[in-house]
Amino acid sequence: MSTATLTQQPTAETRGPRPAGSTPASGTSRAETPVVETMTMAAALNRALADALTEDERVLIFGEDVGALGGVFRITDGLTARFGEDRCFDTPLAESGIMGTAVGMAMNGLIPVVEMQFDAFALPAFEQVVSHVAKLGNRTRGASRMPIVIRIPFGGGIGGVEHHCDSSEAYYAHTPGLTVVSPSTPQEAYSLLRAAIASPDPVVFMEPKKLYWSKGPVDTSITAELRKARVVREGTDVTLISYGPSVQIALEAAEAAAADGRSVQVVDVRTLAPFDDETVMAAVRGTGRAVVIAEAPGFVSVASEIQARVFEQCFEFLEAPVRRVTGFDVPFPSPKFEHWNLPDAERVLDAIDSLHWEEDER
């Protein structure tokens, strides 16, 4: 199936201006006349960064190789040439220093957008994130906000190895004070990144590397709502819950299950923390069955947290146990074995088949 399946746009948009630097409401927008273009997720992220730089002089972009090179995945391509080295610039290879600099900038009224080149490369900066970025707002009773966006390419599917294809979203989602977001389409990448940069509080923006080259329509007038999940496919028999790179797998499994006569609903969580219980639980209550899909190892994971929340809030509606389809509890494997570790539609279909269907007793 083409990644074009993932190009559903947000469904509840209204159009109109918003104050600069404010947290956007669902579906707020900037442009009076929407212009929809087909672009890759990488291009959508680049456009979101460029538009933010254009609209607010407080926005700065920095990290390793994000300047003249345009980043390892070319997400910042052309931004230094267009906006100058004062607005988009390279840093030393010192993630903790990058993060500490961003904290100081945010305390002094700037809006830093930093890139951590690969998922595990961000770990040297982790102490800065959990001790200062996540806590300064609370520590100062709101006197010192942290409008920082931490962009982290994550996940597998590119033939990389450990440190380059890890999924560490659970570390950030576990930390109070952080909003953790992962887009699944080019439209979501643009809309969610604009919302993240507009947020007065820190956002960890997890970008699925294997979707950087997926294409879809992007309406740059739309800003998505942070902390809000979305239903991307309606269904009545079972709900598949996923985020980021695994939403595509959920949609592929839903199409395959339809051939067997099963109506499968797909929910894109979008914001991992804080979690949108309202949308997800309403979806599960409507079908009575659920499968959670994620690339990260399953033990003590975002997937296990979602599973627990569904059990706690939907127990009386469930027709079967809530299943998980995740990466295995091993270090990320070499490219040759990567496909065995990542969830695929076949594993999801097996999980669906295990959900106590009455027709199986015929």
* pLDDT computed for residue 159 by the predictor: 66
For CATH 3.40.50.920, the residue range(s) in the chain are 230-357
Fill in the DSSP letter of residue 29.
B
The rounded mean pLDDT for the chain is 88
| Residues acting as catalytic residues | 164
- Integer distance in angstroms from the first to the last C-alpha of the chain? 32
Of how many residues is the chain composed? 362
* pLDDT computed for residue 3 by the predictor: 37
Segments of the chain scoring below 50 in pLDDT: 1-29, 31, 361-362
Per-position DSSP letters for 181-244, written without gaps between them = E---SHHHHHHHHHHHHH-SS-EEEEEEGGGTT-EEEEETTB-PPTT--EEEE--SSEEEEE-G
* pLDDT computed for residue 32 by the predictor: 54
Threshold 0.85, pTM exceeds? yes
In contact, 184 and 243? CB cutoff 8 Å: yes
In contact, 313 and 182? CB cutoff 8 Å: no
Biggest CA pair distance of the chain: 69
CA distance 342 to 297: 9
pLDDT in tens, 159-195: 677 667 688 899 999 999 999 999 999 999 999 999 9
CA dihedral 17, 23, 27, 33 (to 10 degrees): 30
**Nearest CA to 332 among 153, 209, 159, 121?**
159
* pLDDT computed for residue 30 by the predictor: 52
Q: Does the domain formed by 230-357 have CATH 2.40.50.140? A: no
For CATH 3.40.50.970, the residue range(s) in the chain are 34-219
In contact, 302 and 173? CB cutoff 8 Å: yes
What value does the CA radius of gyration of the chain take, rounded to a whole number of Å?
20
**Nearest CA to 327 among 153, 171, 155?**
155
* pLDDT computed for residue 165 by the predictor: 63
Report the CATH fold assignment for 34-219: Rossmann fold (3.40.50)
